[in-house]
Amino acid sequence: MDRIIVSTDRAPAAVGPYSQAVIAGDLVFTAGALPLDPETGELVGDDITAQTGQVIRNLESILEEAGSSLYQVVKTTVFLTDLSNFAGMNEVYGEFFASNPPARSTVEIGPLPKGALLEMDAIAVR
């Protein structure tokens, strides 16, 4: 099975030895997305709602570059630095995935780069 590397300037660039996403067969696997502005690389917002929106918009850009979309996401993993931010994240998440939402796991983790409050990855169908 061929792997296709996905890269777009509409989402923050990878800052290490990883790809924004990889297409394998009919699936797209994204790397963890942070709430960074794609143009500046700087953190967007200082609260969970602003950061969640930016993370999902970054994932959306990557998925579109891969020939997929948020509607075709089958699984997400949300990494929160503080589970007390779950309700705020969940509210914004629900706006993007209003009907037929994907399966999801949400876990609390340690600190993230640039003081981000969350990171999220996704698996989608093409």
Antiparallel, parallel or unpaired: β 21-24 and 3-6: antiparallel
pTM of the model: 0.97
- In angstroms, the CA 104 to CA 114 distance is 25
Q: CA distances (Å), 111 to each of 29, 72, 84, 116, in order?
A: 23, 30, 15, 8
> What mean pLDDT comes out for the span 71-78?
98
CA 117 to chain centre: 13
Q: Is residue 10 a contact partner of residue 61, using CB atoms and an 8 Å limit?
A: yes
Classify the C-alpha dihedral 65-7-15-101 as positive or negative. Answer: positive
The tens digit of pLDDT for each residue in 15-74 reads 899 999 999 999 999 999 999 999 999 999 999 999 999 999 999 999 999 999 999 999
For the chain, list the domains and their CATH numbers. 3-125 (3.30.1330.40)
Among candidate residues 60, 70, 16, 23, the one with its CA nearest the CA of residue 38: 60
Distance between CA 44 and CA 34 in Å, rounded? 9
The pLDDT mean for the chain works out to 97
**3-state secondary structure at position 96:** helix
Instruction: Give the pLDDT of residue 1.
Output: 79
Over range 89-117, report the average pLDDT.
Answer: 97
